Amino acid sequence: MSRILFVVPPLAGHVLPTVALGQELAERGHDVAWVGHTEVACRLLPPELTLFPAERPGSETWLTETYERSRGLRGPAAFQFLWKDFLVPLAGRMIAGVEAAVHEFGADLLVVDQQALAGALIARKHRLPWITSATTSAELTNPFTMVPKFGEWVRAQLDELQRAQGIRSDDAALGDLRFSEHLVLAYTTESFVGMNATVPSQCVFVGPSLGKRVESGDYDWDWLDPRRQHVLVSMGTIDRENNGRFLNTVVEAVAPLAHRVQVSIAAAPGLIERSPDHVRVREFVPQLDLLKHSAAVVCHGGHNTVCESLANGLPLVVAPIRDDQPIIAEQVVASGVGRRVHFGRVRPAELREAILSVLDQPGYRAAAEQIQSSFADAGGTVTAADHVEKLL
C-alpha cells in the first residue's frame, strides 16, 4: 500500500475532484492525505481525512487581499493577475508547507492540482513520482491563437520558477510544471473538449471525478413543484460579490415564467434585491442533489459546474466571467449543449430567450445527454484511481 499526498490550491473547485479520488484510493487500501489551506479545504474534506497546512497561520490575510484585488478583473487583466499575482506567488508561499507535509506523511506519490505549482516543484526537487490533476481542461487547449505571447509569457514564468526554486536543470528540462511527465488526469472527455485540443501523450481523459461529495446545506425539497421545470443558477465561489448585476438580470429574465419554471440561485446574501415566489436564493445549495431535479443550468462556465451539469445530461446557459471560463463556454457552444451570453452586458429579454431555448429545443438536451454518456464511459473517479495505481 502506498502513501499518496494531494497538493491543492485554496480554490474549492480544485479541491473537490481530489476529494473524490482520494476517498476512492483510501477505499483501495492506500494512505491518503492533503496539503492545502485549512480555511478552504477543511469544509470540503470529510473530517476523518488528514489535512496538512500549506502555509503558516496568518496566510488568510494574503488570500483575502489577493481575492479582493482580483475582484472585477476580466479578460487579459484577469489572466495576468492569475499567474503573476496569484499562482506564482502562491507556489513560493506553499513550498515550505508542501515540503514539510511530504516528509511528515512520508509520501511516495504526489497528486498535484495543475494550479498548485509548489507540489510540482517539490516532486521535481525530491524526484518523487507525481501526477497532474487538471481540474479544468483550459490548459489542454490553445486559447492563445490571437495572442501568442500570452502562452510564451506563462511558460517563461514557470521556467523562472523552477530556476528560482533550485530545480536541477535536467529535472527542470522534464517540462512545464502544469504537466506531469508521468500522468495528467483530465476530468473531461474528448467529446466535450473537442478534437483540436493539443494534448500531451501522458494525458488521460477520465471524465468528471464526482465520487462521494460532502454536501453543505440542506434544501427545502418540498418547495420543488414536479409540474414545473427547475433551473439552477450558480455563478461560482470566487466572484460571489461581483455578480449582482448579472443575478438581478436573471431574476428579471425569469420573472414572467412563474407558470412553468422554478429557479434556485446560489448567491451571496444581499446581492439580489427582490425575488418572486418561484425564485429561491440561498448562499449555498446542495448542487449535486439539486441537479438531479433540474432541467437546465445557468452558470459562469466554471469547469466543475459545467461538467456536473453535463454529467446529469442538462443543457446550459453560460456567462463566462474570466480565467478558463470563456474557453469552457466555447466548448459548451461548440458541442451544442448550450448557449453563451455576455456576463457584463446581457439584458433580461436575451437571457430569457437563451434559457427558454435550452429548455424547449430538444437538440441542446440531446447533445448534453451525449456528453453525459461520454462521461459515464470514461469512468470518472474509478478510472482515475486505476491510472494512479499504475504508477505505484
Partner 1 sequence: MSSTELTDVVGDYAAESAVLTTVRHMLVEVIGEDYALAVDIDMDTSFNRDLELESIEFVTLSAKLREHYGNTVNFAAFLGDKEVAEVAELTVGELVTYISGCVARD
Could you list the residues that contact partner 1 (CB under 8 A)? 74-77, 79-80, 143, 146-150, 153, 320, 326, 330, 342-345, 347
Which grid cell sits at 311? Answer: 454529467
Q: CB-wise, 342 or 390, nearer to partner 1?
A: 342
Please list the alpha-helical segments (H only) found in the chain.
Answer: 12-27, 38-41, 59-70, 75-80, 88-105, 117-126, 148-164, 169-172, 190-193, 244-254, 287-291, 303-311, 325-334, 348-360, 362-378, 380-390
- The maximal CA–CA distance of the chain, rounded, in angstroms, is 65
- Cβ-based neighbours of 77, under 8 Å, separated by 6 or more: none
Q: CB-wise, 69 or 345, nearer to partner 1?
A: 345
Strands 109-113 and 50-53: unpaired
CA dist 124 → 48, 129, 175 (Å): 29, 8, 10
Least distance from C-beta 238 to partner 1, angstroms?
17
Q: CB-wise, 31 or 252, nearer to partner 1?
A: 252
Least distance from C-beta 329 to partner 1, angstroms?
9
Least distance from C-beta 83 to partner 1, angstroms?
9
Least distance from C-beta 76 to partner 1, angstroms?
4
Least distance from C-beta 136 to partner 1, angstroms?
16
Least distance from C-beta 318 to partner 1, angstroms?
12
Q: CB-wise, 212 or 342, nearer to partner 1?
A: 342
Give the DSSP H/E element, type plus range, for residue 5.
Answer: strand 3-7
Q: CB-wise, 75 or 217, nearer to partner 1?
A: 75
Q: Mind giving me the DSSP string for 311-329?
A: HTT--EEE---STTHHHHH
Which grid cell sits at 134? Answer: 487538471
Q: CB-wise, 2 or 248, nearer to partner 1?
A: 248
Q: Mind giving me the DSSP string for 42-88?
A: TTTS-TTSEEEESS-TTHHHHHHHHHHHHTT--HHHHHHIIIIIIIH
Least distance from C-beta 178 to partner 1, angstroms?
17
Q: CB-wise, 119 or 301, nearer to partner 1?
A: 301
Distance of CA 139 to the CA centre of its chain: 12
Residue whose cell numbers read 453525459: 372
